[in-house]
Structure 1
Amino acid sequence: MDAFMFTLLLTFIIALGGRDQMIIAQFSDELERTTGLLLVGMACAAASAAAMAYAGWTIAAMLPTRAANMLVAIALAFAGLELFWRVKLKPMKEPTRSYVAIGVVIFLRQFGDAARFVVFAFAAQAVYPVLTIAGGALGGMAAIALGWAVGKNTLDRYPLFLGRLFFGGCLLVAALFLGLNARFAVM
């Protein structure tokens, strides 16, 4: 249950102000909050969390314990570094109404974002990766739903980038300690 809760909370918090949330918020403003857009965004969040959790669990199962711990540290470091990049979206000139195109863009953007790296890391250490998949999917879906509900104009009013910087620093410190523990652990 701990893996579920930690993954749920971290995925939601780290996804605030992320590229996928901002893209959904931008489309939500332009397309007047259609239900299809929400369903596409939520499906992409669930699918990307499942894919990253499965990848983390599968790769960690092939590695010795210390190497798996180092894998978790590297995934958290990548997540922390990704949080330091500003999210810059171009204004839409002509909004597309193709949910398939929107879904592909959202899905591909989520594979390189910090929230999915956290899902990958937690799945690599989880006893039951299904809980990590559920937590990551629900956290990502909640962030997508929030972006869809409030829109980009409202999200731009809040200093979400400062929160991303804070959590990026926290993830880098956690990665450092996990990496040092994996490197210098006596077994």
Structure 2
Amino acid sequence: MDLFVASLLVVCALALGGRDSMVIAGLRDRLGRAPLLLITGCGCAGVSAAVMAWLGMIIAPLLPAGAVRALIALVIGLAALDLARPVRVRQPTEPTRSLGAMALVLLTRQSGDAARLGVLALALLAPGSAAALGFGGGLGGAIVLLLAWSRWGQGLARYPLTAWRRIIALLLALCAVFIGLEARLGVF
């Protein structure tokens, strides 16, 4: 239960203002509040979180403990880089109403973003709890997409999401350095 909540909170914190939520907000502005858009987005969030939790469950037992910690540091560092990158989402001028196309776009946006990398890092840390981590990550991603679908849109620019993402990126980079030093040198 603790890892479920941890995964939910990690994904909520890392996905705020992400590329997938910007895509959902843009499609909502153009297509209206179509419930199938929200259902597709939530399904994609669940699938991407489950895949990352499954990857962590498969990879962690194959590596020695020091290599797992080094991989966790690498994954957290990649998440920090993703958060530090500016979010520039080009909205389609004539978006398709195809749910398959929307799902493909959302899955590609979510496949390596910071939130799903956070689920992977947690799954590498606790590979026996992959199901709880996948469910928590999927629910966290769905919550952020629900916010993007229902509340944001035109008013998204007034929230300080860029500053939030940069602060979290800095904190994640520090965590990656400390975990990497511990894995390599056993300093901490």
* TM-score for the superposition, normalised by structure 1: 0.96
Q: Measure the CA separation in 2 of the matches of 1:182 and 1:173.
A: 14
State the match for 1:44 in structure 2: 44
Identical amino acids, percent of aligned pairs: 42
Q: Measure the CA separation in 1 of the matches of 2:62 and 2:186.
A: 19
Kept in 1, the 8 Å contact 2:28–2:34? The answer is yes
Distance apart, 1:153 and its partner CA:
1.1
State the match for 1:135 in structure 2: 136
Correspondence 1:100-179 to 2 at 5 A: 100-126=100-126, 127-179=128-180
Q: Measure the CA separation in 1 of the matches of 2:116 and 2:55.
A: 11
Query: How big is each residue's C-alpha offset from its partner over 1:72-99, in whole Å with a ceiling of 9 and x where there is no partner?
Result: 1110000001001111122431121111
- Aligned partner letter, 2:31: L
Distance apart, 1:10 and its partner CA:
1.2
Kept in 2, the 8 Å contact 1:69–1:182? The answer is yes
- Return 80-89 or 36-45, whichever deviates more: 80-89
- Aligned partner letter, 1:162: A
Q: Measure the CA separation in 2 of the matches of 1:41 and 1:91.
A: 16
Kept in 2, the 8 Å contact 1:41–1:144? The answer is yes
Correspondence 1:53-132 to 2 at 5 A: 53-126=53-126, 127-132=128-133
Distance apart, 1:152 and its partner CA:
2.1
Q: Measure the CA separation in 2 of the matches of 1:108 and 1:5.
A: 25
Q: Measure the CA separation in 2 of the matches of 1:55 and 1:132.
A: 12
Runs of 4+ in 1 over 3 A off after TM superposition: none
Q: Measure the CA separation in 2 of the matches of 1:143 and 1:61.
A: 31
Query: How big is each residue's C-alpha offset from its partner over 1:124-146, in whole Å with a ceiling of 9 and x where there is no partner?
Result: 11131111111111111101111
Task: Look up the SS of the partner of 1:128 in the other structure.
Answer: helix
Kept in 2, the 8 Å contact 1:11–1:118? The answer is yes
Matched, 1:10 2:26: no
Any gaps of 5 or more consecutive residues in structure 2? none
- Return 143-152 or 45-54, whichever deviates more: 143-152
Any gaps of 5 or more consecutive residues in structure 1? none
Query: How big is each residue's C-alpha offset from its partner over 1:7-28, in whole Å with a ceiling of 9 and x where there is no partner?
Result: 1101011101000000001101
Distance apart, 1:54 and its partner CA:
0.7
Size of the aligned set, in residue pairs, is 186
